[in-house]
Amino acid sequence: MSQADATQAAGQMRVRELVTPAGGAEGPGGAAAEPAVGSDAAHEVRVGRGLVGHLEDFFPGDVNRVLIVYAPTLRDRVLGLVDRLRAQGLETRLLEPPDGEAAKRIEVAQRGWDLLGEAGFTRTDLVVGIGGGTVTDLAGFIAATWLRGVRYLNVPTTLLAMVDAAIGGKTGVNTLAGKNLVGAFHAPQAVVCDLDTLSTLPHAAVTSGLGEILKCGFIRDPKILDLVWGAPRAALDPAGDVLHELVERAIAVKVDVVAADPFEHSVRAILNYGHTLAHAIERVEDYTWAHGHAVAVGMVFAAEVAARGGVMDSSLRGAHREILAAVGLPTSYAPGRWEQLRARMRIDKKNRGSHTRMVLLSGIGRPVLAEDPPEELLEAAYEAVSVTARPLGEGGIG
Ligand X SMILES: NC(=O)c1ccc[n+]([C@@H]2O[C@H](COP(=O)([O-])OP(=O)(O)OC[C@H]3O[C@@H](n4cnc5c(N)ncnc54)[C@H](O)[C@@H]3O)[C@@H](O)[C@H]2O)c1
CB 103 to ligand X: min, Å: 7
100 forms part of the interface with ligand X (CB under 6 A): yes
Candidate list 35, 97, 112, 131; residue touching ligand X; CB under 6 A = 131
225 forms part of the interface with ligand X (CB under 6 A): no
367 forms part of the interface with ligand X (CB under 6 A): no
132 forms part of the interface with ligand X (CB under 6 A): yes
Binding mask 240-279 for ligand X (x = CB under 6 A): ----------------------------------------
CA dihedral 113, 116, 122, 127 (to 10 degrees): -90
Candidate list 7, 8, 73, 314; residue touching ligand X; CB under 6 A = 73
Candidate list 99, 196, 264, 285; residue touching ligand X; CB under 6 A = 99
Q: Identify which of residues 158 and 356 has a Cβ nearer to ligand X in the complex.
A: 158
Q: Are 129 and 119 in contact (CB under 8 A)?
A: no
- The residue among 336, 341, 321, 301 whose CA lies nearest residue 391 is 321
- The residue among 224, 225, 228 whose CA lies nearest residue 237 is 228
CB 61 to ligand X: min, Å: 28
The DSSP call for residue 166 is T
CB 387 to ligand X: min, Å: 28
Q: Is the four-CA dihedral 99, 104, 107, 110 of positive or negative sign?
A: positive
Stretch 370-389 residues interacting with ligand X (CB under 6 A): none
Contacts of 383 (CB under 8 A, 6+ apart): 1, 335, 338
Q: Is the four-CA dihedral 222, 266, 164, 167 of positive or negative sign?
A: positive
Q: How far apart are CA 175 and CA 396, in angstroms?
A: 43
Candidate list 135, 191, 213, 250; residue touching ligand X; CB under 6 A = 135
Q: Are 36 and 249 in contact (CB under 8 A)?
A: no
Q: Are 281 and 295 in contact (CB under 8 A)?
A: no
Q: Identify which of residues 133 and 367 has a Cβ nearer to ligand X in the complex.
A: 133
At 199, the amino acid letter reads: S
CA dihedral 330, 334, 335, 339 (to 10 degrees): -110
Q: What stretch of H or E contains 105?
A: none
Candidate list 200, 266, 315, 388; residue touching ligand X; CB under 6 A = 200
CB 150 to ligand X: min, Å: 18
CB 152 to ligand X: min, Å: 12
Binding mask 147-166 for ligand X (x = CB under 6 A): ----------xx-xx--xx-
Which of the stretches 13-21, 126-134, 321-329, 388-396 binds ligand X when contact is defined by CB under 6 A?
A: 126-134
133 forms part of the interface with ligand X (CB under 6 A): yes
CB 38 to ligand X: min, Å: 19
Q: Are 375 and 5 in contact (CB under 8 A)?
A: no
Binding mask 314-353 for ligand X (x = CB under 6 A): ----------------------------------------
Candidate list 65, 93, 151, 170; residue touching ligand X; CB under 6 A = 170
285 forms part of the interface with ligand X (CB under 6 A): no
124 forms part of the interface with ligand X (CB under 6 A): no
Q: Do you know the residue count of the chain?
A: 398
What Å distances lie between residue 35 and 42, 67, 75, 246, CA to CA?
A: 16, 31, 32, 10
Q: Identify which of residues 195 and 360 has a Cβ nearer to ligand X in the complex.
A: 195
Q: How far apart are CA 158 and CA 166, in angstroms?
A: 10
- The residue among 313, 314, 273, 315 whose CA lies nearest residue 297 is 273
* Other beta carbons within 10 Å of 110: 11
Residues that bind ligand X (CB under 6 A): 71, 73, 99-101, 104, 131-135, 137, 157-158, 160-161, 164-165, 168, 170, 179-180, 197-198, 200-201, 205, 291
